[in-house]
Amino acid sequence: MAGFTSMQSVLSSNATFTRPSSFYISGLYNVPHAKYYYVFLCLVYAVTVLGNLFIMGIIYLARSLHTAKYIAVFNLALCDLCGSSALIPKLLDMFLFENQYISYEACLANMFFVYVFMTMQSLTLLAMAYDRLIAICFPLRYHAIVTKTTMTLIIGAMWILSLSVITLMVALITRLSFCRSTTVEFHFCDHGLYYLACNDYSMNSIIGNVCTATLLYLPLILIALSYVCIGFALQKISHGTEQIKAMKTCTSHVILVAMFYLPIISVYTVGFIPISANVRIINTALTQTIPPMLNPIIYTLKTEEVLQSIKVLYKRTKVNSAMERAVKKTARN
């Protein structure tokens, strides 16, 4: 069987433990002009890299954005960039250049990084919801509660949680024996490959469900509850202009939450409905790649602070360039 050319087999509990040298990632099956789809993902990746590097650069250079809120925004851009980099280049290598065999170790590494950054995207959106909740419900105490130190500690704790849980999830894969098949019917090394194991994988199933519930659905529920509280707080504001101003500060975040969670929830919901593997792969791939591309665009266009910072940096660049030209002209004369 493909992928079993070099096996590592040891006897454990009177049974043969089989670890394949590689897995075969099947990807899209019998889809005409599939390469155009992968070329499209290549363009998506280019825009994602440029957009997220741009927003990270703006936050780094603009002193006015050195706040707790933009620590979370910077972390989201970083996770978007790294998450896309963990997925798309390998996907293009496999399906554009037909290198669809991936070593056992590389498969687990691919799984680890894709899930870590996806988890961090979810948790960072929760941290941003916390920032908006305090800003609107406790405006007078906002700067005392949500400090740069506090946000850094929150983001740090989320990284530790994400790394710990995903490490456990991936480590449990190593206890599985793959004696049935090494063909993964997906576009990357999805955690669901434990279904290919021929020994007990109940623990993998449990940890997968727990991770989905605690790192995906629980943050979404908490974000929804935060906006319920924000809604009650806005009703107490008597002036309509102040209500609109407060709502505008949440617009970008609401759009980001919708773009990230709605497609993912649809993917998991569709998982309970029998559909073709190709539809599932395309839906999941777009879910993982389109939001990271659009996030920096949304934050640039919908956030007044970012637009203002871009204008200030642009004017500063023009002034510096004019001064440099004047100095060079004076030096020539």
pLDDT in tens, 109-119: 999 999 999 99
Burial 80-89 (b: 16+ CB within 10 A, else e): bbbbbbbbbe
Range with the largest mean pLDDT of 77-81, 249-253, 268-272: 77-81
Q: What per-residue string of b and e applies to 217-252 under the rule 16 or more CB within 10 Å gives b?
A: eebbeebeebbeebeebbeebeeeeeeeebeebbeb
pLDDT (mean) for 181-197: 88
What does pTM read for this prediction? 0.87
Residues of the chain with pLDDT > 70: what percent?
Answer: 91
Q: What is the pLDDT of residues 94-114, one digit of tens each?
A: 888 888 899 999 999 999 999
Q: Which of 203-207, 269-273, 305-309 is most confident? A: 203-207
What pLDDT is recorded for position 234?
85
Q: pLDDT tens digit string along 121-155? A: 999 999 999 999 999 999 889 999 999 999 999 99
pLDDT of residue 272: 59
Residue 33: pLDDT over 50: yes
- The model's pLDDT over 211-221, given as tens digits with 9 standing for 90+, comes to 988 998 999 99
Tell which wins on pLDDT, 130 or 13.
Answer: 130
Residue 113 has φ and ψ, to the nearest 5°, of: -70, -40
Task: Provide the pLDDT for residue 273.
Answer: 61
* Least-confidence region, from 40-44, 155-159, 309-313: 309-313
